[in-house]
Every structure is written in C-alpha cells, then in structure tokens.
Copies of this chain bind each other. A is one copy, B any other.
C-alpha cells in the first residue's frame, strides 16, 4: 500500500463523500493488520529515540476531524509507548479572551516543537477557519487571508527545521451518532459526553464542505494533508503510524558522534 493514495493534492477538488471512511485498504480484518501495526509502533519508538538524540529536526503532527472522529484515541494509541520526555500534546479548545485578543497564530506558535521533539496538536490553527466558515461569523475574504497566513506560517516552520504532518480523521455521520451513544451509555465514557457535539452535528454538511475546501487549499507538497479513514480504529492507527514512520524515515536521522575533548578523556582515564 502506498500512503500517497491518502494524500490530498493542493488545488485539486477533494470530495469527502467519495472518500470512504470505512476503507481498510489491503486488510480484511483487524487481525491481518496487527503484526504490521506492531512493527510500525516499534519503529516509531526507535526513530523518536534518534530524533531526540540528534536534535536537528522537530516534528509537528496536526490532528483534525469532526467531533468524536478519534483524535484523542489516535494520540493515545499511536504515542503511548514513545518516550514521553521527547513528546508533547496540546489540545486547542475554544480560544480564551486572552488568546482572542491576539492574532489567531499566537497561541499556536507557543506550542510548536523544539528540535528533537515531536508535538501533537489535537485541533489547531485550522479551527479558526473552519468554525467561522461554518457559522458565518467571519467574511470569506478574512478567511482567505487566514488560509494564506497558515501557509506562510507552515512554510516558515518547515524552513526552520520542523516537519509537519497533517492528518484529517474521516468518519461517517452514522459512526458519529454511534460514538455519541456510547458516551451516554458507558459509565467510563460519560466524561467524554459533550452536549455541543449534538449541536454541532446539525452543521455536519457545512463542516464537510468547509473541510474539503480547507484541506485542498493547504495541502502543499512540503506539508501535505492526509485523509485517514477512521470508522475502523485499527485501520486508523495502522495508517497514521505508516504516515509517521515514513515521514520520519525521510529525515535520514542519525545518532550524533561523541562530543568529548582530549581533556575530558584525560579526566575520565584519571578516575578509572
């Protein structure tokens, strides 16, 4: 399987309706994907270790998707296992008054990863286009400007050593209802129930077309978007791991050489 199949091409029309959220590519069952998923997970741990040792690149993983599409679950499944010292998650909620009194990238910039680190964004700068677009609280021209500013911002980050991986988790409308139902039924998931999910659900179609437009506009060659079928958690996990591992492999990471001077060595030999 080539992950390019799930890469969105900039400027080309992208239809979420034609993108099957239940797609599982070459796999017929969870069991079939298990061995490969496990070896990708191990590879990710190895690659992160080198990334952290080398401190030459940083990696920013942006996760977007409708409510209940599995952003939290993806973070939990993909990244538990890696060394938490080199990893950081930021969940962007509704902006606070302090955040709203600055430009929309101000709060984002603060959480971009340092060299050697992987950062995951659970929601991101893209919310500041999607939400106003769906609810009509901003003008088209202001939102077009924001699209351009996001691209410039991401280009700057890449040029300065940050690899950006953008993932859109794609679920169906039925699947969303099923997930909301789970949250109302299972005591261990009660805390995930959020009544606004039911309200926002009424704007499903508007969100889908806003996403189509935004993903297509901002999927550059350097920082592409991937759409990930997310009705099946196991395939979602497999594919996100594949995308991450392949992206990290592309950085040609290497453990650095020993930085010891002759006097360090003398000091050591003296003690031994």
Chain A residues within 8 Å of B, Cβ to Cβ: 49, 53-55, 72, 75-76, 79-85, 87-89, 91, 120, 122, 177, 180-181, 184, 187-188, 190-193, 195, 198-199, 201, 255-261, 264-265, 267-268, 271-272
Contacts and interface: CB of A to CB of B under 8 A. Distances in A.
Contacts of A198: 264, 267-268, 271
Given A80-B84, A184-B258, A198-B271, 14 more contacts: A53-B191, A55-B191, A75-B83, A75-B84, A76-B83, A79-B84, A84-B89, A84-B120, A181-B272, A190-B259, A191-B255, A195-B267, A198-B268, A199-B267
B85 A260 contact: no
Contact of A271 (B81, B177, B190): B177
B80 A81 contact: yes
Given A188-B255, A190-B258, A85 B81 contact: no
Give the 8 A-B CB pairs with smallest separation, nearest first.
Answer: A53-B191, A190-B258, A195-B264, A76-B83, A79-B84, A85-B89, A191-B256, A198-B267
This chain: copies in complex: 2
Contacts of A201: 271
A46 B53 CA distance: 31
B54 A268 contact: no
Contacts of A192: 53
24 contacts: A53-B188, A54-B191, A75-B85, A80-B81, A80-B84, A84-B84, A84-B87, A84-B120, A85-B89, A85-B122, A88-B88, A181-B268, A181-B272, A184-B268, A187-B255, A190-B255, A190-B256, A193-B258, A193-B259, A195-B259, A195-B261, A198-B271, A199-B267, A201-B271
Contacts of A187: 255, 258
Nearest to A261: B195
A180 B271 CA distance: 11
Contacts of A255: 187-188, 190-191
